[in-house]
Amino acid sequence: MLSQDLELKQALAKRGITRRQLVKFCSGVLATLALPERYLAQTVAAVGKARKPVLVWLQFQDCTGCSESMLRSSHPDVADVVLDLLSWEYHEVIMAGAGGHATAILDRVVKEEKGKYLVVVEGAIPTGDDGVYCTIGGHSAMEIAETVCRNAAATIAVGACAFDGGLVRSNPNPTGALGVHEAVPGIKVINMSGCPHNAANTAAVLVHYLTFNDLPALDQYNRPLFAYGRIIHDQCERRAHYDAGRFVTEWGDEGHRKGWCLYKMGCKGPVGTFNCPIVQWNDHTSWPVRAGHGCIACAAPRFWDHMSPFYERVPNVPGFGVEVTAGEIGVGLVGATIAGVTAHGLIKMIKPVPKPEPAAETTPQQGREN
Amino acid sequence: MTPVNHLPAIQTGDGHHPTVPMGRAVSVYVWQYPLRLVHWGIVICIAVLSVTGYYIHDPYIVGQVNPFLMGEFRFVHEVFAMIFIALFVLRMYLFFAGNRWVRWRSYVPYRKQQFREMVEMAKFYLFVKPEPVSKIGHNALAAMSYVGLYAMVFVEIVTGLVMYNVLRHSAILGFFVGWVPRLISPPNIRLIHFCLMWIFIAFGILHVHLAMLVSREEKKGLMDSIFIGYKVIPEEDLKKDDELYSKLP
């Protein structure tokens, strides 16, 4: 049976999760959402009383990295509690059912929970050639997304691919892949961009939905502001090195060993927005810049195309090949100008054009006729 | 058109360099002081912004003792950028409020005469014609190149403000430039901003060279005029300008 009338509190108790653990989890979520502490009681009550909403997790053109990220989520309790917060009915990677049994569950959710369930989409949706590049159970990704997302209360697009097509859509995009909000326009969608999404943020969005029955405040790309409202650079632990002019100039040099700023190595922290430096990854252990690698702005729109080359400060100038930097072209331009100006001046000095005699003061045309 | 060189002139001895044209010549106040302020302000701004901007692009001083080196470079860059914007706005105002040589009519090429003038001037630069087109204000080719320059300055200002707003998150600024990153990705905005700097430097070199060249040929005090505002215009040239000629004492 689909609907479980158990209240969440009971479900959690059954799993051996105490009220203390629930309060702890809710405090963590409140901190991630940047909500004041006075919402704690409300959140705990809402989460405890909630009738488990149904959630389905769709996968299209993806690498399952976002599912992996969700399953190995960093907060000790997130995986457990989120799995228990919601009635997770359909998820190709982790569900036991297969074939017709699995698709029957999806059909039943769409029919019985119409307008009430949540959908998480992972992966891009191919639209080229009628969507033949991704089909599940005889239906194209396009058809499945159209049916499942249209009938849902809200859609959560996790990862770069579901956000805007990600790697699949990057140039030359042979399958015509699109993100969810472009492939299925007009639906209520929240984008959790990033490659992969950060499970802590997605859990926070789910809890926000359970508590307030609404999605958190969004930015211009429909991403929650609490996670995508600030640039990496402003939150970075290496920012002091940037301000002081201490930069890594070569991989493995002294500055790199001392943990200096990766700006010169092409770090995209100054343009990428995400809460990576605060929430971090793998049990709050580390994040790319702490590990000594520059940010690639994986949460930015179309980052594969727009943020590459990942190890250069600025992109290459089109038409000059990959070995020539914009700086070299600029120096060349100025050098050529100096050379040209010098040559022009020299010619002017050496070879003065003969001036017409003041007597023959006629227009050039008349002069030729004469 | 009668070039100045055809007027009788004092010969200095070598026979090639007549100095002061004789006959009646008039000092005309061509470049008003706000225009000269804009000109020299832009020169200083481009110099400072290029040096600081290049540091921001590629920090060439690394690991020094100053604990706020990049911060200071950025501060100077941002302050001079604001001055640059103010000067640009003042120049745009002068396009409509300045004197006849500063107004938009003498810049935007829309008359056949202006296009003819461009061809004549190009011929002078390419050693085909001995004389430059001699005007009281700008010749049409120079004028058009300044229109192009101001267009590039506008792009430079917009791209700069986009990058500034990535850090500032200003709602007002976002209203004006927030749409830009949706069309052009931030690294490409940075690339445009950086490449235009090189074009400005190249333009500066070319500008000084051509100004000196024309000044030397037409002998109306073109180089002086950007410092003091006045050009020495022979009476012959003034005759072609009824409005000016009528004011002649």
Domain CATH code at residue A214: 3.40.50.700
A138/A117 same-domain check: yes
Residue B219: pLDDT band (50, 70, 90) is confident
CA distance B163 to chain A (A): 8
The mean predicted confidence, pLDDT, of chain B is 84
Nearest CA in chain A to B59: A245
Nearest CA in chain B to A347: B127
Q: Confirm whether A115 is domain-assigned.
A: yes
Q: Number of folded domains in chain B?
A: 1
> For residue B113, what is the domain's CATH number?
1.20.950.20
What is the number of other CB atoms lying within 10 angstroms of the CB of residue A282?
11
A234/A301 same-domain check: yes
Chain A partners within 8 Å of B180 (Cβ): none
Residue contact A245–B127, C-beta within 8 A: no
Q: Confirm whether A336 is domain-assigned.
A: no
Kindly indicate whether the ipTM for this predicted assembly is greater than 0.90, answering yes or no. Answer: no
DSSP A262-281: -GGGT--TTT-B--HHHH-B
Q: Confirm whether B5 is domain-assigned.
A: no
Q: Confirm whether B207 is domain-assigned.
A: yes
CA distance B62 to chain A (A): 5
CA distance A245 to chain B (A): 5
A132/A78 same-domain check: yes
pLDDT of residue A42: 82
pLDDT above 50 for A187: yes
Q: Confirm whether B16 is domain-assigned.
A: no
A146/A211 same-domain check: yes
Q: Of A253, A280, A308, which marks where a domain is finished? A: A308
Q: Number of folded domains in chain A?
A: 2
A250/A285 same-domain check: yes
A242/A216 same-domain check: no
pLDDT of residue A192: 93
Q: Is A309 on the interface with B (CB under 8 A)?
A: no
CA distances from A139 to A89, A115, A143, B164 (A): 19, 22, 6, 47
Tokens of B113: 């005469």
A188/A289 same-domain check: no
Query: What single DSSP character describes residue A96?
Result: S
Residues paired with residue A136 on neighbouring β-strands, in sequence order: A139
A295/A211 same-domain check: no
Lowest mean pLDDT among B16-20, B48-52, B106-110, B185-189: B16-20
A212/A287 same-domain check: no
Q: Confirm whether A357 is domain-assigned.
A: no
Q: Confirm whether A313 is domain-assigned.
A: no
A100/A55 same-domain check: yes
pLDDT of residue B23: 65
* Rounded Cα distance, A74 and A52, in Å: 23
Q: Confirm whether A277 is domain-assigned.
A: yes
Q: What is the mean pLDDT of residues B45-67?
A: 88
Q: Confirm whether B24 is domain-assigned.
A: no
Pick among B127, B129, B183 to test the A interface (most A CBs inside 10 A): B127
Q: Is A313 on the interface with B (CB under 8 A)?
A: yes
pLDDT of residue A14: 74
A264/A221 same-domain check: no
Nearest CA in chain B to A349: B213
Q: What is the mean pLDDT of residues A69-87?
A: 66
Of residues A355 and B5, the one with the higher pLDDT is A355
A43/A118 same-domain check: yes
Q: Confirm whether A157 is domain-assigned.
A: yes
3-state DSSP assignment of residue A122:
strand
Cβ density class A324-345: b for 16+ within 10 Å, e for less: ebbbebbeeebeebeeebeebe
Chain B partners within 8 Å of A319 (Cβ): none
Q: Confirm whether B210 is domain-assigned.
A: yes
Nearest CA in chain A to B181: A301
Tens of pLDDT, residue by residue over A196-238, are 888 888 888 888 888 888 889 998 889 999 999 888 999 999 9
Structural domain of B36:
30-247
Structural domain of A277:
230-308
Q: What is the mean pLDDT of residues A166-170?
A: 91
pLDDT above 60 for A32: yes
Q: Confirm whether A343 is domain-assigned.
A: no
Residue B11: pLDDT band (50, 70, 90) is very low
- Give the rounded percent of residues in chain A with a pLDDT score beyond 70: 88
> For residue A267, what is the domain's CATH number?
4.10.480.10
